[in-house]
Amino acid sequence: MPREAREKSKTGIYHIMLRGINRQTIFEDNEDKKRFLTTLAKYRDVSNFQLYGYCLMDNHVHLLMKEVEEPIALTIQRISASYVLWYNHKYCRCGHLFQERFKSENVEDKKYFLVVLRYIHQNPIKAGLASNVKDCHWTSIKQYMSHPTFIHTDFVLKLFSSNPQEALTLFMQYMSKPNQDQRLEYEEIIKLSDEEVRQCLRELGAASSSELQRMDRPKRNRILVRMKKMKGVSLRQLARVTGISKSLIQKVK
């Protein structure tokens, strides 16, 4: 049965979420995140889209962007294919990395646009990785605070004021405001964070999810059994972090 076509945004603006297949890690280190941002900057010029905000988490990405000439689906396909090609070469792996059909929502008015942008910038806070929006690493917030490179900040700041300094002050106040915004949520409540799970895996001899996947079966299974017995780690989370299917992890004894 063919998939239902995405509804077109009247403004051309979309909140996009890309996540790893089986919710696995898509950024093993900072080099990976830098590469993804380089890819975004490259295809902004190729596909001619406008990017208003981003947030890179270990296993998913949030983007707030506007299609101009090229359909947004083609743009996302270009970005993800380029990054996956580089990632697979780096980690000696093959196959898909991102979930095939990305999630998106239309952004069709000013109020909702700002709510989505705030949600994106506060994503690390909601995940317990930062205490305030200025300290959120791997988001576009610092491009608003300094000299933007590939973020379309002028459009956003003018929504607050025509005076640049006043606009930035009002923008930062709004971005820092406590809220209960929930947009394209999918993360589950877990006792151990993904980073804590990865640290446990490293201590057991798996430096990365790719290395764990390449291990001989007995060694890999011994590590998975140890992780399954660990308190605060769910099967779904373990599958997400390791890139190994939940059904396979369930069978390991």
Q: What confidence tens digit (pLDDT) does each residue in 211-251 have?
A: 999 999 999 999 999 888 877 788 888 999 999 988 889 88
Backbone angles phi, psi at 218, to 5 degrees: -60, -45
73, with CB counted inside 10 A (0-12, 13-18, 19+), is middle
pLDDT, mean of residues 142-150 = 89
Name the residue ranges covered by the structural domains of the chain: 13-176, 194-251
Q: What confidence tens digit (pLDDT) does each residue in 147-185 have?
A: 888 999 999 999 999 999 999 999 999 999 988 776 665
Percentage of residues in the chain having pLDDT higher than 90: 63
pLDDT value of residue 4: 64
The answer to whether residue 73 scores a pLDDT higher than 50 is yes
Provide the b/e sequence for 148-176 (b: ≥16 CB within 10 Å): bebbbbeebbeebeeeeeebbeebbebbb
The answer to whether residue 52 scores a pLDDT higher than 70 is yes
pLDDT, mean of residues 200-206 = 89
**pLDDT, the chain, mean:** 89
User: Of the spans 115-119, 183-187, 206-210, which averages the highest pLDDT?
Assistant: 115-119
Strand (E) or helix (H) holding 136: none
The answer to whether residue 74 scores a pLDDT higher than 70 is yes
Amino acid at 162: S
pLDDT, mean of residues 74-92 = 96
Strand (E) or helix (H) holding 154: helix 153-157
The answer to whether residue 21 scores a pLDDT higher than 70 is yes
Question: What is the Rg, in whole angstroms, of the alpha carbon atoms belonging to the chain?
Answer: 19
How far apart CA 115 and CA 42 sit, in angstroms, is 27
pLDDT value of residue 187: 43
- Architecture of the domain made up of 13-176: 2-Layer Sandwich (3.30)
pLDDT value of residue 184: 60
The answer to whether residue 190 scores a pLDDT higher than 60 is no
How far apart CA 223 and CA 245 sit, in angstroms, is 15
pTM, two decimal places: 0.72
Question: Is 154:168 a contact under the CB 8 Å cutoff?
Answer: no
